[in-house]
Amino acid sequence: MAQDAKPERHSSESEAAYRAKLAANPGSSSAALGLVRLLDRGGDRRTAQEVLRAFVAATGTHTSLMAAARQWESWEDSPLPGTLTIRVALTGSGTLAPLGAHLRVACAQAGLHPFVHVGDYGQWAQDLLAASSALYAFAPEIILVPLQAAELFPATLSDADASAATLAAERAAGISRIGALVDAVGQNAPGATLVLNTFAVPDRSPFGVLDLKVEGGQRERMMVLNSELISLVRDRRHVVVLDQDRVESRFGKSRVRDARLWYLGSVPFSDGFLPVLAAEYLRVIRPLKGLVRKCVVLDLDNTIWGGVVGEDGLEGIKLGGNDAPGNAFHDFQIALAALKRRGILLALCSKNNPDDVWEVIDSHPHMVLRRTDFAAVRLNWADKVSNLVEIADELNLGLESFVFLDDNPAERAMVAANLPAVLTVDLPGDPSHYLETLLALDVFDSLGVTDEDRARGEMYRNAQVRREFEVSRGGGDLTSHLEALAITVKIERATAFSLPRIAQLINKTNQFNMTTRRYTEAQVRAMVESGKAVVYSVKVADRFGDFGLTGVAIVEREQDSWLIDSFLLSCRVLGRGVEDALLAHIIESARKNGAKLLQSHFVATARNAAARGFFAMRGFQKIGSRIPEDGIELFQLSLESAQPATSHLRWLRVTTDDI
């Protein structure tokens, strides 16, 4: 059972001694692990884990990371209440236990409680093809399969004399084998995400310097092989392909492998490359669990342009051209604009005169970002902590969704100290390195870009116009105001096109979310395809624009009783009756399909107070907690007497598909 009770008394002298050693040397393994064990024995596992994470952040040695991994493994079966968990299965070429240890630590550093299964040496085919394998019994959420070209494509990799026919046959057989593995995962673990890797081009070729000159050189062979692999899985939504060649090139291919480790124990990766590869896998795991940053808050002077606009004026700032630092700021803005196209919001937070700022943004010929690119703006002389809190409130985002970029160390220190949930980035002193710093963050990844992502900036601009409209109407009558908005609601079953957005919403919605259960796209698809549940999506629009897909409900259906497993709505559309329209549709669908009872779950969290009481106020009766230790409250509604409470929602125009 998880140790999260009030800590037992333990030796304050020993704790003080350990903490003193850590203060002097944050990377001290003996002090850190001694303190962790002391706290854990005393019943304060939460603090013990915080100490362990701080220790890992302060040290980067392989020995220390392996020690941390062993400690996390000892806690595997007892996650702390409220902790987000991840189940990772790892199988592939060579001995992968060291990589499994680094994955465990990487997940823990990201705030996840890791469950890690590592397949036995050489058993990856059996692990993935056999439905009864230990890997599938582990019930993984994500399956990582790092394969080596030498195992599947030895001639392609290193046989300089192999004929084109031989290479084609080997390639066809290997790709077919991988295809069988992909199909098996889809069948045996339909809710899991499978991660494969491309095959890296070695840093040395058997053709030497003539590799690109000869027909069928090594690089050409590997390009064809990887192209066929990508084509195989491009339309398999449960498969992600890691660009192994790019990762190894960035690290340095000559350092990726340790020949001694390979020949002694078939370990495919060097100690130095293991944390790099684990971090790359984490880029898939984070969005799978909804741990992504959604907004970049930017300072202006010496952050997105050089100089101080209030002193240097429009013509005096450094931006664009061929000279440094203007060219560096221009490229930095291009990268920020690319993030916006992926659905990441941009906001401004700067101590500046608004007129000076808008003159540059609207008129400077080398300005990449324009006024319409910013979802929220704070141009004033207030402290940036307060401004960031206001921006979070305006955008309906938690502070953990934000990244703060400011050239001023004092401003960064204030934000970091007061808003630890915000990722405050230490920008380097030289703006030439701003671009690489931004690209190295790796906190914006998603497993797909939806229509809502592409239109997010426009949606927030529409929200600003909507707020201005609300202010212009004054207090007034709420019903008349809602009628003036001309709100339309469309309730549909999940489709192949809407599943990515549905999964995205499930994993990021916190405030009006009855259970905050997180499901991957593959898991939701498996629910739909198995017929175990119906998944509803809700699209909302009004006179000012389209909100997009903003609501989801997952309902398990039995003959006489339906159960609402998940029920969530974006805060952007709360207070308009949309949640009642969705519930009414579920009630009516259940009744038409012969159900007599509708049940629902509610799980209280630190952030879903807005959802508390929703079912009770709609006539549901609380009948206890189905699983008390998990905090799941169970409600039910008799469908024989209940009527959908929608008569008062005359301002909504609701359409549905035939369910």
What secondary structure does DSSP assign to 419-473, as a single string?
A: -TTSEEE---SSGGGHHHHHHT---S--S---HHHHTHHHHHHHHHHHHHHHHHH
Angle, helices 244-251 vs 274-288, to 10°: value is 130
Above pLDDT 70, what percent of the chain?
92
Q: What is the pLDDT of residues 146-192, one digit of tens each?
A: 999 999 999 999 999 999 999 999 999 999 999 999 999 999 999 89
What's residue 277's pLDDT? 98
Is the Cβ–Cβ distance between 357 and 381 less than 8 Å? Answer: no
- Tens of pLDDT, residue by residue over 373-426, are 999 999 999 999 999 999 998 888 889 999 999 999 999 999 999 999 999 999
Q: Which residues, 6 or more positions from 302, have their beta carbon under 8 angstroms from its beta carbon? A: 308, 407, 408, 431
pLDDT band at residue 23 under the 50/70/90 scheme: very high
Cα gap 118→99, rounded to integer Å: 9
Instruction: Calculate the CA 294 to chain-centre distance.
Output: 10
When pLDDT is cut at 50, 70 and 90, the band that residue 8 belongs to is very low
pLDDT at 571: 83
For tokens 């019994």, what's the residue? 137
**Two tokens, residue 529:** 């395809």
The model's pLDDT over 617-646, given as tens digits with 9 standing for 90+, comes to 998 999 876 554 567 899 999 988 766 555
Query: Average pLDDT over the chain, rounded to whole?
Result: 90
pLDDT of residue 457: 65
Nearest residue to 297 (alpha-carbon basis) of 413, 399, 372: 399
pLDDT at 531: 85
- Rounded to two decimals, the pTM is 0.79
Q: Quickly tell me which residue has 């000892």 as its tokens.
A: 74
Q: Which domains does the chain have, with CATH numbers?
A: 1-77 (no CATH), 84-288 (3.40.50.1110), 295-439 (3.40.50.1000), 480-656 (3.40.630.30)
**At a CB cut-off of 8 Å and minimum separation 6, what does 62 contact?**
271, 272, 274
Name, in order, each residue with C-beta under 8 angstroms of 610's C-beta and a sequence gap of 6 or more.
511, 512, 571, 574
User: Three-state SS for 158?
Assistant: helix
Q: How confident is the model at residue 6 (pLDDT cuts 50, 70, 90)?
A: very low
Per residue in 208-252, pLDDT (tens digit) is 999 999 999 999 999 999 999 999 999 888 899 999 999 999 999
pLDDT of residue 5: 44
- Nearest-angstrom CA–CA distance, 101 and 104: 5
